[in-house]
Structure 1
Amino acid sequence: MTAAVEAAEVSRLWSHPELGLHAVMDATGAVRLGRPGQDWAGLVPLVEVTATGHGRMWSGERFIETAIGDRLSYLSHETVQDGGRERTTIRLADSTTGLTADVTLEARPGSGFLRARVRLANEGGTALRLESVSTLTLGGIVDVDGGLGDLTLHWADNDWLAECRWRQDAFRNRVVPLSRSAHGHEGRGCFERYSQGSWSTGRHLPVAGLTDSAGRAWLWQIESSAGWRFETGEREGAAYVALFGPDDAHHQWHHTLAPGEEFHTVPAVLVHTESGGLDAAFGELTDYRRSIRRDHPDRLALPVIYNDYMNTLMGDPTTERLLPLIEAAGAAGAEVFVIDAGWYDDDAQGWWDAVGAWEPAARRFPGGLPEVLDAIRAHGMTPGLWLEPEVVGVRSPLAGTLPPEAFFRRGGLRVTEHGRHHLDLRHPAARAHLDEVVDRLVGEWGVGYLKLDYNINIGPGTENGSESPGAGLLGHHRAHLDWMAALLDRHPDLVLENCGSGGLRMDYAQLAVAQLQSTSDQQDLLRYPPIAAAAATAVLPEQAAVWAYPQPDHTLDEIAFTLTGALLGRVHLSGFINLMSEEQAGLVRSAISVYKELRPELGGARPFWPVGLPAWEDAWLAHGLRGQGATFLTVWRRAPGDAGTPDPSADTDRTLTIPHLRGAHVQPTVLYPTTADAAVKWDADAGQLTVSLPRENTAVLLRLSSAVVDPSP
């Protein structure tokens, strides 16, 4: 479509200059989102809806080209300013069903993100059974040459102990050309990724993107703990992206919208950058994530946390075991001490299927748990406890005393998973129980930190009356977020860590409320680096809790290796540091001291990856943060192959390109450790840093300070 034809046939309702996007309406009232000069046919309706009796116009795997989406037409729009943000709401209506859709597009002037949410309302006379609703759709994406052959697709697999594993492939390898002109139709398939059950990131991250060789990038994120899906495919010679919350086909979600009722989709955000590739796009996404977070003192304090679990007490705490660790953690510089799982375990048959009351175990703490909490405070630290609030063990008395409606049920039966039942926090009895627990721990015992874990995947959800399981799961998770926010309202200094067997519920529905995110349960220090290096793709650096578990039987290289990986995130110190030699303990204290010096930079820094996003078996990995005052860079060198078997012939040097410092007079400084014998050399003209690590399975943290920075890429 030429500019002249476009001007004659469509009118512009909304614009985002930084993204180069416009919401435009044609003569029939159809509204679509796209870029100037694009062929209208390649775009996608602003909202796509499937409902029972109102499916798709072209059957297949794709959730675009829906009958309702095609019928929705413009009613009105308005723009409001709110705290530096601009919100435009475009109202659409389907005359056949009486369904209206309010599409809210939110942006901040000068930023490169677009956040969307959709409100559906039934203004007709007949109930409508929804089966899928898009939050954000965009068509007309092409590469620098105007085609699709140069687009690369990026997505992340996620699993227990193996989080944030980014993959890439040519778009055309995943969405093959089908000779549309010979058939007169688009294909029926697409590239899709989606969640399954109540671990929102148990399979994949709800983040993905497209790039081309010119450095342009499209990156998206869906903010849901209760089901999400994205798809991308080809439409009229261009790529499209459609972002969804839960749907019927993948999450057993359907929602009956009676006349007068409304439904709100989960939020999603789109980022676009014209240069800089994924690094630039993740920089914009990082800024956006900071903008939606709940304000909290932890955002600036970023205290060092010691947690007794990982590779240490492993859920078996006692007063006798804790007191030496508390003293050692305080001496090392920790500011929070968390007693992890097991503090409530007074059951001869074990605690896993008996949890729920969250009372301290008398046999573990002969002088009472408050004695241990007082010891933590006496060593200058805030006491913390582990809690798994959403579950009740099948042997817990609460399983019989709380009403049946307070638990997840399907087919009239209470759901059981791995020895646990699941609370439905929409029920007042479930919420009152947890409020009593937390108000006791925080209000009476003075606990200032709660690690909120979540160790079961409860499946598609719960049926409360006629609702679908997926709708029940969405309702519970919205109540769960409301419960967390209410805790922080009552206890504004309380810090909440979000954990889902590590990083299995690592989404920005949770992370807009919680202060920290556990990145993994990975216990192998040689397997953690690719998780730590890629964590900033999923979570803000200042929220990314990375385990550092040095042990007295470790070599100095091993101690430094596990500590170095946590220094550009949130330090989760563990290990039997009370049994270390003075030399070993000094290496721990040095790492904590370095962290405290650099942490003021974390909350404003953008991540980058000078050797690309890490692969699981990569020998060399690098992750940097570009701050206001300096650039920080962590470089790991692992043994190749099995990430543990030394190879004497392996390269000892790696050259890293750092474009934003090209032309600058950079002074590289080794911050930690001095024991790795690292050497660094800077080439200003090439913008390259050569790092030498003479031994495998070592790592180094560098500061790159520059006097003058050339602004050219």
Structure 2
Amino acid sequence: MKPLHWNAPELSLTFVLDDGPVRLLAEGDGTRRAAGTPDAARPMVEVTAVGSGNTLSTSRHVDTVLGHRLRYVRHDDTGTTLRILQEDPESGLQVTSVFEAGAGVRAWSEVAHPGPGTLRLTFVSSLVVGLGSVDVELYSAETSWMAESRWSAQRLRSGALADIVHAPHQPVARSRAAVTSLDSWSTGERLPVGVLVDQQYALGWQIEHNGPWHYEIGETRYGGYLLLSGPTDQEHQWSVEVGADSPFTTVPVSLVAGSDRDSAFAALTRQRRAVRRRRPVDDRMPVVYNDYMNTLLGDPTTEKLLPLIDAAADVGADYFCIDAGWYAEGDWWNTVGAWQPSTTRFRNGLGEVIERIHARGMVPGLWLEPEVIGTRSPIALELPDDAFLTRGGTRVTQSGRYLLDLRSPAARQHLNDTVDRLIADFGVGFFKFDNNTTTGPGTDKGGTSLGQGLLEHNRALLDWLDDLQARHPDLLIENCASGAMRMDYAMLSRLHLQSTSDQEHPLLYAPITAAAPATVLPEQAGHWAYPISGSTREEFVFALVNGIPGRLYLSGHLNRMDAKELDLVRSALAAHREILADLDTLVPSWPLGLPAWGDEWIALALDGPSVSYLALWHRAAGPSTITLPLPRSNVVPHFPTDLDGWTFTPTGDSLTVTTTTPEPSARVLRLNDPA
């Protein structure tokens, strides 16, 4: 049987259909070399079950018995969606691999067992793709609270995947380069995004799940492989029983191709736009003021909020979000859950504050942590145990909170009542949904494995968000989890804005801002800009630059600022809004490479067909010069508009930048092709 070739706009897939399992190879858009040859194609589905594991003793998830027994049955191609059905004749297991064309492809596996009996699955891949070689660089990122998106490159041959094959000895490698995320913080330690770069090609991917996930790169005697999946038994205590009435679908993943690192990340950017469920209200892209960072820090009152509301309106903010504490009489961490306005913080009720926001022409927003109930909250006694995640019949408790199980009708009704009431009572048009408490491995309620219980809860949360937005189509929602601890495209395909960090120091926010577009769309990347009144002009500008190349998320004591400081804020918002006009068409690149946490110079470019915006940060004191490879030579200061200690000299395909400021400083430039 001839190979099956199937094309997305920027990615071509080759499926080998013969007397073995269907095997898959990915390549570029026809102008780039394939990542290997058809001989290096790998079985595109790997699956294990209780009683049927791997052909070799290994921790890897390839060379599975069931995966190797799958055989091609048929395929269906609509032009934009390809479905390939395989079956194991011995067990009756059926797996349909689904591919949706975007910029690259979005893929997942649908597993069924229509015959008699059941199988308890312990692993199912979302996608496995063959690689011609593993002598490649892997770009991956560690992340943590206040230190998000720390990217690095590793040459796999010098690390996890040593070359052990030498004639006449021909061993089978059993090592892997594996990246795994645990529990409900999908990006709590590692990002579900990666790029493999060879001299002539690059493959990029993301796993689109708001819970545990896993990917690995390795090699077999046939060549290398990239494997992408959601939760597993080995890593996450996950298993599920499939039978005639109980199919299973894996989490979706996206795959793209490029010629180098930056083109692969650009392709991922276009793929994210393809999978995002953008609504008409998302076109607004407002500037949001939030009272938390370096400002009220969870202690709002009428007296503190009214002058901030007036000041935010005066500089041109569109939305005003009251952050944590509006519901609290005192210490609130383990008492949350009722989400009723405080009776002591607001002298004439929260309504007075909300009305000032409306009167100043802004849309009001509120912070909410919907998925938790404090152990000391009265709601914890009112809701049944079935409304919570449990293990062995006991509520899962973390950090003084119980965790709602969104599979529960009672839990969903509580949240629906809460959100509907706040919208009806106050005209709330924006919620900052936070998530500061992790679930652990999951729940065994209903007889599931811990991992499957968590997966069902994760999916129920997504369903609840879909239903909420269908009922309130003009509502915008920010995705936050202690900053960016759940920055994945299960959530971000649905929600408007992503908080990229809780980092409070402007110098440390710079690498977070610069690296964020590797993981999240620029038009969804909410970067805090919190200038501090009384700081030096360069410190003030630096804090504002952090917010400009994305979605500027404004904070700070605007009511304490003098006229010159407020003019700088207005100028930053004007510069930001100019970028907003193009933002959802721009793609990122990094002229100095993806930033390391301690880099002195950091650069992020957002590139379009006719214009690029370049954010530059110099995080050391004193004069310094650097040269960046940039093809556009018409350079205009964008923010601030005066040079003031910086010079820019374009020469051919490069730009030389010099700063003479005696302290750290930052600038945003606009670059065009010569007229």
Structure 1 length normalisation: TM-score?
A: 0.91
Equivalent-residue separation in structure 2 for 1:465 and 1:265 (angstroms): 20
The partner residue of 1:654 within 626, 641, 648 is 626
Deviation for aligned residue 1:272: 0.9
Pairwise mapping of residues 99-114 of structure 1 onto structure 2 (< 5 A)?
99-108=93-102, 111=103, 113-114=104-105
Deviation for aligned residue 1:379: 1.3
Deviation for aligned residue 1:669: 3.2
Match for residue 694 of structure 1? Answer: 660
Query: Is the 1:656–1:689 contact (alpha carbons within 8 Å) kept by the matching residues of 2?
Result: yes
Equivalent-residue separation in structure 2 for 1:94 and 1:222 (angstroms): 26
Match for residue 211 of structure 2? Answer: 226
The RMSD of aligned alpha carbons is: 1.7
Match for residue 305 of structure 1? Answer: 288
Query: Is the 1:673–1:700 contact (alpha carbons within 8 Å) kept by the matching residues of 2?
Result: no
The partner residue of 1:543 within 524, 528, 531 is 524
Deviation for aligned residue 1:598: 2.1
Deviation for aligned residue 1:671: 3.2
Query: Is the 1:42–1:235 contact (alpha carbons within 8 Å) kept by the matching residues of 2?
Result: no
Is 1:252 paired with 2:233?
no
SS of residue matched to 2:526: strand
Pairwise mapping of residues 281-360 of structure 1 onto structure 2 (< 5 A)?
281-346=264-329, 348=330, 350-360=331-341
Query: Is the 1:31–1:74 contact (alpha carbons within 8 Å) kept by the matching residues of 2?
Result: no
Q: Deviations over 1:304-342 (max 9, x none)?
A: 111000111000000000001111111111111100000
Query: Is the 2:95–2:111 contact (alpha carbons within 8 Å) kept by the matching residues of 1?
Result: yes
The partner residue of 1:424 within 405, 413, 419 is 405
SS of residue matched to 2:617: strand
Amino acid aligned to 2:617: W
* Structure 2 spans left out of the alignment, 5+ residues: 28-33
CA 1:183/1:259 → structure 2, altered by over 3 Å: closer, same or farther? Answer: farther
Query: Is the 2:13–2:24 contact (alpha carbons within 8 Å) kept by the matching residues of 1?
Result: no
Match for residue 177 of structure 2? Answer: 191
Query: Is the 1:42–1:236 contact (alpha carbons within 8 Å) kept by the matching residues of 2?
Result: no
Equivalent-residue separation in structure 2 for 1:101 and 1:260 (angstroms): 15
Aligned length: 666
Match for residue 560 of structure 2? Answer: 579
Equivalent-residue separation in structure 2 for 1:165 and 1:676 (angstroms): 31
Is 1:271 paired with 2:256?
yes
Equivalent-residue separation in structure 1 for 2:492 and 2:12 (angstroms): 29
Is 1:177 paired with 2:149?
no
SS of residue matched to 2:446: coil
SS of residue matched to 1:465: helix
Equivalent-residue separation in structure 1 for 2:22 and 2:559 (angstroms): 68
Match for residue 206 of structure 1? Answer: 192
Deviation for aligned residue 1:96: 1.8
Equivalent-residue separation in structure 2 for 1:155 and 1:213 (angstroms): 18
Is 1:123 paired with 2:114?
yes
Deviation for aligned residue 1:233: 1.1
Is 1:677 paired with 2:650?
no
Deviation for aligned residue 1:562: 0.6
Query: Is the 1:668–1:680 contact (alpha carbons within 8 Å) kept by the matching residues of 2?
Result: no
Amino acid aligned to 1:177: D
Match for residue 90 of structure 2? Answer: 96
Deviation for aligned residue 1:605: 0.6
Match for residue 74 of structure 1? Answer: 72
Amino acid aligned to 1:176: A
Deviation for aligned residue 1:658: 1.9
Match for residue 127 of structure 2? Answer: 136
Is 1:455 paired with 2:436?
yes
Query: Is the 1:134–1:244 contact (alpha carbons within 8 Å) kept by the matching residues of 2?
Result: yes
Equivalent-residue separation in structure 1 for 2:23 and 2:198 (angstroms): 27
Equivalent-residue separation in structure 1 for 2:648 and 2:572 (angstroms): 20
SS of residue matched to 1:526: helix
Amino acid aligned to 1:50: T
Equivalent-residue separation in structure 2 for 1:476 and 1:701 (angstroms): 43
Amino acid aligned to 2:604: H
SS of residue matched to 1:372: helix
Amino acid aligned to 1:694: T
Deviation for aligned residue 1:15: 2.2
CA 1:586/1:65 → structure 2, altered by over 3 Å: closer, same or farther? Answer: same
Q: Deviations over 1:102-122 (max 9, x none)?
A: 1011224xx4x1211110011
CA 1:98/1:374 → structure 2, altered by over 3 Å: closer, same or farther? Answer: same
Q: Deviations over 1:456-503 (max 9, x none)?
A: 111111111210111111111111111111111111110000001001
Which deviates more, 159-168 or 456-465?
A: 456-465
Which aligned segments of 4 or more residues in structure 1 are displaced greater than 6 angstroms? Answer: none
Q: Deviations over 1:405-459 (max 9, x none)?
A: 1101012211100000000011100000100010011123100000000001111
Match for residue 705 of structure 1? Answer: 672
Equivalent-residue separation in structure 2 for 1:634 and 1:328 (angstroms): 27
CA 1:131/1:236 → structure 2, altered by over 3 Å: closer, same or farther? Answer: same
Equivalent-residue separation in structure 2 for 1:57 and 1:465 (angstroms): 33
CA 1:676/1:614 → structure 2, altered by over 3 Å: closer, same or farther? Answer: farther
SS of residue matched to 2:406: coil
SS of residue matched to 1:509: coil
Q: Deviations over 1:140-182 (max 9, x none)?
A: 333xxxxx44x21111101111111001111201211012655
Structure 2 length normalisation: TM-score?
A: 0.96
Equivalent-residue separation in structure 2 for 1:20 and 1:491 (angstroms): 39
CA 1:213/1:39 → structure 2, altered by over 3 Å: closer, same or farther? Answer: closer
Query: Is the 1:200–1:226 contact (alpha carbons within 8 Å) kept by the matching residues of 2?
Result: yes
SS of residue matched to 1:156: strand
SS of residue matched to 1:614: coil
